[in-house]
Copies of this chain bind each other. A is one copy, B any other.
Amino acid sequence: MDATLDQHAAWLAKSLGRTDYLPLRPEDAVALADAGAVVDKYKGTHLFREGDLADACFIIEEGEVELYRNNGAEKSVVARIGSGSVVGDIAMFQERPYLSSARAIRNTTVLRLERDRLVPLLLARPVLAMRWLVNGLSQLEATQQRIIRLMNRTVLEQVAGLLLDEQDSYGDVLLSQAAIAELLGASRQSVNEALAQLRSEGAIETGYRRITVVSEDRLARTSST
C-alpha cells in the first residue's frame, strides 16, 4: 500500500466530508427528519467505517464527529465536522464504500438517513433531490480545482495555500508539521523550511502544533493563486 497515495486520498476525503453545504429549508428538514432516525452516539462510537458499503448518510444535529482514514497501522485525521454537516452522502448515492471512517468524539446526536428510505423521498421531492445532488457536484468540482491549483507548485507555495485554506476564525492552524507534510505529499523537513521562511517574512507565527496566520496578504502573495 502506498502511504503517499493514501494521504492524498485522505485530503480528498476531507473535502468530500466537508459537506456543510446543504442549506435545508424548514419543510425539507421536516420531511428528512421524518424519513430518518435520530441516533445518539456516545463518545468514541462509530457512525461508519472506511470500506463499509455506504447504505446510509448522516446529518449531525449536535456534537462533533471526526473523519479519519487508516493508512496501514496508523490513522490520520481527515476532518472534524459539527452541527449541520452532512457526511457519507456522496458515497451513498453511488452505492460505493465510504472513503473514510466517522467516529463521534463527543456525545453526539445524528440523523441517520438510510439509502432505501432517502432515495424514495428524494424521488418524491425532486427539488430537494436536485439541490442536494447539484451541491454535491459543486463540492466535488471545487475540490478538484483545489487539487489542481496545488499541483506542480513548490512546497513553499503549497504550504502558504494550505494555511490560507485551513486557518480557523482566529487565524490558527492546529496541525503538526508532519501532518501538513502528509496532506501536501511533501516531506516534514521541506514543510519546516517553508514555515521558517514564512515566519521570517512575518506572514505567520509558529508554535507547538500551532501556526498562526499574521498576514493573509503575504501568504496570498506567496501562494500566488
Measured CB to CB, the residues of A under 8 A from B are 4-5, 8-9, 12, 90, 93-94, 119, 122-124, 126-127, 129-130, 133-134, 136-138, 140-141, 143-145, 147-149, 151-152, 185
Contact = CB atoms under 8 A, between A and B. Distances in A.
A147 B152 CA distance: 12
A126 B125 CA distance: 8
Nearest to A150: B151
Nearest to A142: B94
A139 to B, nearest CB: 9
A5 to B, nearest CB: 7
A53 to B, nearest CB: 15
Given A8-B148, A12-B148, A94-B138, A123 B133 contact: no
A179 B138 CA distance: 29
A90, A123, A124, A140 pick with most chain B CB within 10 angstroms: A140
Nearest to A119: B130
Nearest to A95: B134
Contact of A141 (B4, B90, B130, B151): B90
